[in-house]
Amino acid sequence: MAEYALTGDVGGTNTRLGIAVKGRSGRPELLHQSTYPSREFHSLEDILADFITRHQVSFKAVCLGVAGAVIDGWVKTTNLPWKISTADLVRSFNWPRLRLVNDLVAAAYAVPFLHHDELFFLQHGFPAGKSGANIGLMAPGTGLGTALLIACDGTYVPVASEGGHVGFAPRKHEDLGLWQTMAKQYGHVSLERLLSGPGLYNIYCWLRDSGRYEEPAWLTGQLDPEDAPRLIAEYGLKEGVPLCRAALEKFAALLGAAAGDLALIGMTHGGLFLTGGIPPKILEILREPEFIEAFSHKGRLSELMSRFPVAVILNEQAALLGAAHCAFNHLL
């Protein structure tokens, strides 16, 4: 009889839940997936209750990746007003085998078994052999997540991180102006203030208000903070609006620099992987020279940077697959 796992990816914009079984190759198989708009629900328990009601399945294990710092089975979501704990979920649903992990840890679990066609390489580099090498993940979306997979004795140990909240360091003179503008607005200028959906809008507003680019009259007043990132990407890529295009290019350069920092911190010879809601949608921009130039611009170690593989994860189910892997391999 098949054993089922409930797998989840709880984000600030969407919560994805899936039903998984073990795959023959060691990669879990998702039998079903549902997506819920997170902000339309009072709590994660409400979403889980709806999913369970719709799918009468007995789960042997449950693993949920949550966007936030998971400490001792408890997490306060960064971009939602939710407090989630394993104790509360066990009381509500009577699941004996349950684990909460950071959402980037869930995605990290999936990286070793992703297929080549589920990746878009921005730099092939010189990947380490199958003996194992560290892997890094960076995920700009509603917020900015980071994680590492540390190679150890033929396997990988995931390391959760809140690297999205480290301070932004200007790389060019013009970036000093961006930092000053953000500092006046927020005080602490974290990477997430720039490398996220809301961050893309912050970059757009800075370019507009600094006089570098003029906002088209037809666009004035059309962008609200909630929908702005999608429209900036659409108008920048499809319509060629200079202000929107410039915002995307600056975003890509800042993302490249931050991804390079993470690659150095983790010595990610196994690859630096971009996931989250934004990178797959802006491949056209990430393919331009600015991203890899910023990634590689590391002074005396610039030559080393060419050795790190860099790729965008195209599979939107990566975090669900990784959480399922955790459920089957660490809870059963």
> Any residues with CB less than 8 A from the CB of 305 and at least 6 apart, and which?
260, 263, 264, 295, 296, 297, 298
* pLDDT value, residue 293: 98
* pLDDT value, residue 131: 58
* pLDDT value, residue 224: 84
The CATH fold of domain 163-313: Hexokinase; domain 1 (3.40.367)
Q: pLDDT (tens digit, 9 = 90+) per residue, 203-255?
A: 999 999 999 899 998 888 888 888 899 999 999 998 889 999 999 999 999 99
Parts of the chain with a pLDDT under 70: 1, 128-131
* pLDDT value, residue 127: 75
Cross-sheet strand order for the sheet of 135-140: 119-123, 310-313, 271-274, 135-140, 144-152, 155-161
* pLDDT value, residue 233: 95
Best CA proximity match to 103, nearest among 56, 158, 50: 158
* pLDDT value, residue 86: 97
Q: What are the extents of the domains in the chain? A: 4-114+315-331, 163-313
pTM of the model: 0.95
* pLDDT value, residue 130: 54
* pLDDT value, residue 25: 85
**Which CATH number is associated with domain 4-114+315-331?**
3.30.420.40
* pLDDT value, residue 10: 98
Q: pLDDT (tens digit, 9 = 90+) per residue, 57-73?
A: 999 999 999 999 999 99
Best CA proximity match to 275, nearest among 31, 17, 9: 9
